[in-house]
Chain A
Amino acid sequence: MSEKNIILKSSISGILLAFLLLFFLPESRTAGYENVPRLNPNCPPGFKRNADNECIAQSLYMQYDSPNNKGVGGLQTGLPEIRDGFSPQEIDLGRYLFFDPVLSGSGTISCATCHDPKKGFSDGLPTSIGHNGQQLKRAAPSLWNVAFLKKLFWDGRASTLEEQLKGPLFSEEEMNNTPESLLKTLNEIQEYRAFFAEAFPKRRAEDRIELNEVYRAIAAFQSSLLSLNSKYDRYAHGYHEALNEKEIEGMNVFRSFIARCAECHTPPLFTNQQFAVIGTPEPDGLPLDPGAEIPFNDKTLRGAFKVPSLRNIAKTAPYMHSGNFSTLRETVEFYTKGRGHAVPEDEDIILHWHIWDPQLSDYELDRLVDFLNTLTDETFMPRIPERLPSGLKPSI
């Protein structure tokens, strides 16, 4: 009897204590600190914040179906599956990291150095400049709409943004950092410690910054770069006055089976996300870039590159994997100069079947350029941070 009483009493007081703790402990914890949120609690444009504090992408393309859920088709076709669901804080933290040269070994190169928002999140160079001013082998791809891509890098060797961004971060030729040094640097910056604590609230605030958190935040920011409101999109959604006659002519050349552009640069994203061997020339004196042959160890992929999206293509000259074409006009002209005309004679590469001899006229080439210029939309341009937790100048 008395034993039972003791159990009862202690359990009641235990429950009471638990309740008290639940009520007062969080408050007493926060009382000492001034926990003012420093990261933007709102999702970037193009996203709706849900009840779980996740940013879910929204676009007018969500009105449409997508055949076999691949996100390829015609004008009113749904987009490919998007990587979204990051919190606003993760995205905003990623924005600081993205522009912060403290991420590089030398403290002089940020992600934005080669992915400059003013240059279509590319760098305007044929191939990028890396650590110590060295010339890299390939052009920096645009990051607009990268959240829809299933293959990353020109040769498609990464399948997630997290996997991808480790490449330049830790490449000796590029940002030349090491995981250890990166963590040490970031953990020494108190403001980053606070930012990470805010972006990753499930772990203890005093915990050290971890690599996965760095990757996730940068991936979150990159995933927020949506460009889906171009003149072309207005046409696609049914406002046919959005494009002028010449642009419509260009669109019809683009999707005709003569030029066949849309067969690989398929709307709505203007890529079918496959590999293609098109046989573009390398800059003078450089050997053929084997492309996807190397990571996939597959001879049939020699010279193959991922089909890039053409959204904001007018902003990202020069063109192709090694930037050999300085204008869109030169780029579209490549396709009508003959199948394999630029392939070195000693190379036996398997050109894509859509590379043929379409004999496009100068007029048609001009119209194609007109159309490509309608794919520009930078209304959801993110803001460059005015100051960075590292105290360094945002580097672009």
Chain B
Amino acid sequence: MKSTLFKIIAAIVLLVAGIFLGKSMFSSPKVSTVPMPSGIGLRTTGNSNDTLYANTITYDGEIIEVKSGASIQEAVKKANPGDLIRVYPGTYSENVYIDKDNIGLQGVVIEGEWPTLDGKKEINDAFLYSGNGILIENFKIVNYKGNGIMGQAGNNFVIRNNWIIDTGVYGIFPQYGKNGLIEHNVCSKIEDAAIYVGMCDNVDVLHNEVFDNVAGIEIENSRHCLVENNYAHDNTGGLLAFVTPGLPIKTTFDVIMRNNFVVNNNTANFGAPGSTVAGIPAGTGILIMAADDVVVENNIITGNNNTGITIVDLATGAPKANDPNSEGNPDRVVILDNIMYENGNDPTGEIKAIMLSQMDTKGPDIFAYGGGTGSSIRDKNRYRTFGLDGYGTAPINDTKGIRTMMTPSPVPARSVSKEELGELTYYGVCAGCHAFGTRLIGPPTEILQAIHNGNPQGIVDYINNPKNLREDYPEMPPQDYLSDEAKLAVAEYILNMKHETVTNSNQ
């Protein structure tokens, strides 16, 4: 009896040991991935011989891992500037907001399994950021209502390798940013623009595929943008560069659209009523509206049923919106050599009417209408055109000298010296209650100096944890929300202040 029990136990032990041994010996090694781009700059390889550094910001702080079932936002809350958040495959239904600088968010795709942000058509936005130096890459983002990725301010952003489907109004939408890279994203089923560069400067939009959207790639009220090597197909309109009136930043200029495929953009417009893109006729390859200094070069523009390229002023293209401060003419547009055929097979609306007046039932490859001066085309004879009578000969043959519109190095944060920070904090915050020579709400500044003479840390401690020292004054609320730098800076600033002889100043 005893020995039977012993045998059974021994068998179980052996079995467990065997399983353990087998698992550890024969299972595929645990997946380990290299957390790029820790420690190295982001690089992009082009058709030129050397590699272009796209961003020299690195995320070589801590690595915070997010596994399925956890929250990306919780990781963002923990992260400090320079940290890299790596998100493993799984479904994350959340709105991630990043109000910090230099945070990298990197999806880890394992055997075709993506970390997926699923808005379930209930959540507004997948990523919202306001910080500088934000990296968002390798995410699949689906079924949001507002945006896939939206930036409000934030310079030096990199948004790449994302797969975005039906995320509402925009797929990728940086706004008010300078120096950004949007590359290798695939975006579809977006009801406005798949990639919308709004009120930005110095942005490259490279190697993206955009399809089944109302607008493919939209450069709006932005300057110095390069749209290159993108595949824009089956949208209502493929590539757009324009000015929307009524926005605080009012110009679009210096845009290159180069080496893109702009093909079969004939999807019926499903934009929201009232939106600017709702007015885009289906079958629009490239639309240039009121934007200046746009170069269209070396694109393959085919099968767009209305026109290949439309160039209009605001009065024609968006006659309802009015803004006396928006200059509405597209000036100095340069059309270099492009491959264009089978455009305009089924024109609609105004273009159809205008072409019929020309005894033509097809839309043109290139259609220009309305104001604008200084525009030019390299070889007009190649295309079927309308309204290009005023176009001169192109002043350039190519744009090969311009490899990127991004800034040579990251836009530096505005630097504020310690003394300036102390001054801003003193006058911007403390001066509500403290002043030299007079009692406001708290004790006069010279009394603070006397109490904490030579001891800035004393002021910092008091800011963090005020103890009412004087009965004749109300207790100060803690000012611990100030950053540590600001606290020390203002403490030193207060101690270094000299009493001004203000009473004689007005003579």
A interface residues (Cβ-Cβ under 8 A, vs B): 35, 37, 39, 41-42, 45-49, 53, 58-60, 62-65, 67-68, 70, 72-78, 87-89, 198, 201, 228-229, 234-242, 248, 252-253, 255-259, 262, 266-267, 272-276, 296, 298, 300-301, 339, 350-353, 355-357, 379-380
A75 touches B246 (CB 8 A): no
Contact residue among B97, B247, B437 (Cβ-Cβ distance under 8 Å from A272):
B247
Over the window 77-88 of chain B, the binary record of Cβ atoms lying under 8 Å from chain A Cβ atoms (1 yes, 0 no) is: 100000000000
A45 touches B431 (CB 8 A): yes
Q: Which residue of B lies closest to A360 (CB)?
A: B124
Contact residue among B169, B176, B244, B321 (Cβ-Cβ distance under 8 Å from A74):
B176
B274 touches A355 (CB 8 A): yes
B421 at the interface (CB under 8 A from A): yes
**A to B CB contacts below 8 Å, 17 in the list:** A41-B502, A45-B433, A45-B440, A58-B431, A62-B420, A73-B152, A74-B152, A74-B154, A76-B130, A248-B97, A256-B124, A256-B147, A257-B125, A257-B147, A274-B247, A276-B246, A339-B274
Number of interface residues of B (CB under 8 A): 77
Over the window 148-174 of chain B, the binary record of Cβ atoms lying under 8 Å from chain A Cβ atoms (1 yes, 0 no) is: 001111110000000000001110010
B99 touches A46 (CB 8 A): no
B77 touches A49 (CB 8 A): no
B111 to chain A, nearest CB (A): 33
Over the window 304-324 of chain B, the binary record of Cβ atoms lying under 8 Å from chain A Cβ atoms (1 yes, 0 no) is: 000000000000000011111
Q: Which residue of B lies closest to A53 (CB)?
A: B505
Interface segment, one of B21-29, B256-264, B354-362, B479-487:
B479-487
B207 at the interface (CB under 8 A from A): no
A257 touches B170 (CB 8 A): yes
Q: What residues of chain B lie closer than 8 Å to A252, measured between beta carbons? A: 95, 97, 124-125, 128
Contact residue among B97, B147, B150, B424 (Cβ-Cβ distance under 8 Å from A59):
B424
Contact residue among B150, B249, B503 (Cβ-Cβ distance under 8 Å from A68):
B249
A73 touches B153 (CB 8 A): yes
B432 at the interface (CB under 8 A from A): yes
B416 at the interface (CB under 8 A from A): yes
Q: What residues of chain A lie closer than 8 Å to B228, measured between beta carbons? A: none
Contact residue among B147, B170, B176, B322 (Cβ-Cβ distance under 8 Å from A300):
B322
A238 touches B483 (CB 8 A): yes
Taking each of A63, A272, A357, A380, which has the highest tally of chain B beta carbons within 10 Å of its own beta carbon? A63
B199 touches A253 (CB 8 A): no
B423 at the interface (CB under 8 A from A): yes
Contact residue among B201, B416, B440 (Cβ-Cβ distance under 8 Å from A63):
B416
Q: Which residue of A lies closest to B178 (CB)?
A: A67
Report the separation of the CA atoms of residues A379 and B429 in the bound assembly, to the nearest whole angstrom. Answer: 9
Q: Which residue of B lies closest to A274 (CB)?
A: B246
Q: Which residues, 231 to 263 on B, are CB-close (under 8 Å) to A?
A: 244, 246-249
Q: What residues of chain B lie closer than 8 Å to A64, measured between beta carbons? A: 414
Report the separation of the CA atoms of residues A276 and B128 in the bound assembly, to the nearest whole angstrom. Answer: 25
B477 to chain A, nearest CB (A): 10
Q: What residues of chain B lie closer than 8 Å to A201, measured between beta carbons? A: 506-507
Report the separation of the CA atoms of residues A49 and B502 in the bound assembly, to the nearest whole angstrom. Answer: 9
B322 touches A75 (CB 8 A): no
Over the window 435-466 of chain B, the binary record of Cβ atoms lying under 8 Å from chain A Cβ atoms (1 yes, 0 no) is: 11110100000000000000000000000000
Q: Which residue of B lies closest to A59 (CB)?
A: B428
A310 to chain B, nearest CB (A): 15
Known: A67-B201, A201-B507. A258 touches B481 (CB 8 A): no
Q: Which residue of A lies closest to B435 (CB)?
A: A42
Taking each of A88, A353, A379, which has the highest tally of chain B beta carbons within 10 Å of its own beta carbon? A353
A41 touches B505 (CB 8 A): yes
Q: What residues of chain B lie closer than 8 Å to A356, measured between beta carbons? A: 272-275
Report the separation of the CA atoms of residues A5 and B480 in the bound assembly, to the nearest whole angstrom. Answer: 76
A229 touches B428 (CB 8 A): yes
Known: A70-B249, A255-B128. A75 touches B77 (CB 8 A): no
Q: What residues of chain A lie closer than 8 Å to B420, measured between beta carbons? A: 62
B31 to chain A, nearest CB (A): 33
B503 touches A37 (CB 8 A): yes
Known: A73-B152, A256-B146. A63 touches B414 (CB 8 A): yes
Q: Which residue of B lies closest to A299 (CB)?
A: B322
B153 touches A75 (CB 8 A): yes
Q: Which residue of B lies closest to A198 (CB)?
A: B506
Taking each of A76, A198, A229, which has the highest tally of chain B beta carbons within 10 Å of its own beta carbon? A76
Report the separation of the CA atoms of residues A256 and B481 in the bound assembly, to the nearest whole angstrom. Answer: 26
Q: What residues of chain A lie closer than 8 Å to B502, measured between beta carbons? A: 41-42, 49, 88
Taking each of A46, A75, A89, which has the highest tally of chain B beta carbons within 10 Å of its own beta carbon? A75
B350 at the interface (CB under 8 A from A): no
